[in-house]
Amino acid sequence: MAARKKAEAQQLLIELDSDRDWANACKRPGLLVVDVYSEWCGPCSSMTGHLRRIKLELGDEFLTLATFSEV
């Protein structure tokens, strides 16, 4: 069950770790929302849940969610 939830989360969000990831994300159709956050930031972390809900409602063809976690 936990592995399934993790796989679903990976499909909802793509992580931008390189210039190539960024270029590929920009080529996807629809709206691209990039969430730049730090794990220590409470409001930043809470936004992820809201963005996932929107993604589930709109689907892949309209919205791409990407994250960039500041180290």
Supply the CATH number for residue 38's domain.
3.40.30.10
5 is a domain residue: no
24 is a domain residue: yes
Structurally, the chain folds into a number of domains equal to 1
User: What pLDDT, on the 0 to 100 scale, is given for residue 4?
Assistant: 52
User: What pLDDT, on the 0 to 100 scale, is given for residue 23?
Assistant: 92
**How many Cα atoms are found within 13 Å in the side-chain-facing hemisphere of 36?**
3
Domain that holds residue 54: 11-69
40 is a domain residue: yes
3 is a domain residue: no
45 is a domain residue: yes
Give the angle 59-23-42 at the CA atoms, nearest 5°: 60
Helix, strand, coil percentages, rounded to 5, for the chain = 50, 25, 25
User: What pLDDT, on the 0 to 100 scale, is given for residue 11?
Assistant: 65
pLDDT tens for the 71 residues of the chain, in order: 445 554 454 467 788 888 999 899 899 888 888 888 777 888 877 887 888 888 888 877 788 888 776 65
